[in-house]
Structure 1
Amino acid sequence: MSNSHLFLKSGFPRAPLQNGIGRVVLQLQRITFKFCKNHGASRGIREFLETDLIDFSKNNPGIVVYVKPRRHRSPNLTVEYLNGERQVINCHNFSREEVSKWVTLLRTQSGNPTIRYRKLWHTDSPSIQGPWTPFTNRRPELNLAQFPREKPPPVHPTEIRTSISPSSAAELNTTSALANYATEAGQYKGVEAKKIKRKESKKLNSQG
């Protein structure tokens, strides 16, 4: 396992201009294409300049493009960002597609140096109430309770029966009797309806 991350500067993830909430401003401001007009190592940059440079300039009017030919020198891309950062990409023997991919990558970068994240999230204005926990909205009386708390003694069914008053017992008996009567009446109606249907079907069969 590599330990190179131990030597990186640590920090939190940040985005310029609050991640584009205010307005979207590309951080890449200047890009310079340095190449040789005759050397084969600069063939990819020359093809990119001949075919894709005009479209790139039209699609990104906020980026200043410089073309700097040099004799018998290795080609490279030099980019400058708003925060003052400057990067140089060596394009020796790059193809046109590779140059296009690097230009797209550099255009979308913020220019911030590579850092080791302390956390994968960051809040500029943290809550004054603190982080949420499962006990955030619990009753404050629980803070004074002593745990483990004693459980109430179990209640026997006979005790429940004796605790019911006579008037309540009479009401319960009346309610249960009415419920039984309604159930029996419904069953009786269902049986009578079936008998009537059978008689009607027999009459129809005899007439046919």
Structure 2
Amino acid sequence: NCSKPQFCKGFSLSKSPTADVCCKIFLRRNKIMALRGVWQLRKLVVSYCNWGGSSRGIRAFMESELPALKEKNPHLEVVTELNRGQHPFLKGLYKNKNERVVCVKNLSQEEVLEAATKLRNSLGRKVVKLKTRHVTKQPSVQGTWSTALEL
């Protein structure tokens, strides 16, 4: 049996050696990001205008989706800010002292929920493009890869 049934609900793997492998694969496929089991997003700031038309979607999000988001993520501190005359945005503050800001002007409540979920699931690091392959002084234990593999 799986040690985390809330993640594996409805997900089965036919040849999994352990049920925890099932959980890891499910989490990796669904991009649920926690570093060593600790969620990295610690605070979500929802900034909106109570009058502007560009904040219509985020106001609907706050009425319908935000309470459920708070309930599903008890580790997350959610703060709302009223900024009159400004476009709405979401700001994520992470444990590694980084922050990400996402503009959500003129977005629907589903798109705002998707943006908030992406902030929650990201690690807060900058995306760095790897310029070269990983080179190591230690040779691979499995040997070098070749196309002439015989099974």
TM-score, normalising length from structure 1?
0.48
Show the 5 A alignment for 1:14-33. Answer: 20=36, 24-33=37-46
CA distance in 2, matches of 1:98, 1:108: 15
Find 2:92's aligned residue among 76, 79, 91.
79
Structure-2 change in CA distance of 1:69 and 1:117 (3 Å): same
Residue number in structure 1 paired with 2:102: 89
Structure-2 change in CA distance of 1:111 and 1:120 (3 Å): farther
The offset of 1:91, in angstroms, is 1.2
CA distance in 2, matches of 1:59, 1:109: 17
Residue number in structure 2 paired with 1:137: none
Structure number with larger C-alpha Rg: 1
Residue number in structure 2 paired with 1:50: 63
Structure 2 residue matching 1:61: 3-state secondary structure:
coil
The offset of 1:97, in angstroms, is 1.0
Residue number in structure 2 paired with 1:68: 81
Find 2:52's aligned residue among 39, 49, 55.
39
Instruction: Tell me the alpha carbon deviations over residues 49-82 of structure 1, each in whole angstroms, 9 at most, x when there is no partner.
Output: 0001111011101110000112111111111111
Find 1:112's aligned residue among 120, 125, 130.
125
Residue number in structure 1 paired with 2:114: 101
TM-score, normalising length from structure 2?
0.65
Q: What are structure 1's unaligned runs of at least 5 residues?
A: 1-15, 135-208
Cα RMSD between the aligned structures?
2.5
Residue number in structure 2 paired with 1:7: none
Residue number in structure 1 paired with 2:139: 130
CA distance in 2, matches of 1:50, 1:93: 16
The offset of 1:130, in angstroms, is 3.3
Q: Percent identity?
A: 29
Consecutive aligned runs of 4 or more in structure 1 exceeding 4 Å deviation = 118-122
CA distance in 1, matches of 2:114, 2:133: 27
Matched, 1:59 2:63: no
CA distance in 2, matches of 1:63, 1:121: 35
Instruction: Tell me the alpha carbon deviations over residues 12-56 of structure 1, each in whole angstroms, 9 at most, x when there is no partner.
Output: xxxx98x53xxx111001111111111110001100000011110
Structure 2 residue matching 1:71: 3-state secondary structure:
coil
CA distance in 2, matches of 1:116, 1:42: 34
Structure-2 change in CA distance of 1:51 and 1:116 (3 Å): same
CA distance in 1, matches of 2:130, 2:57: 36
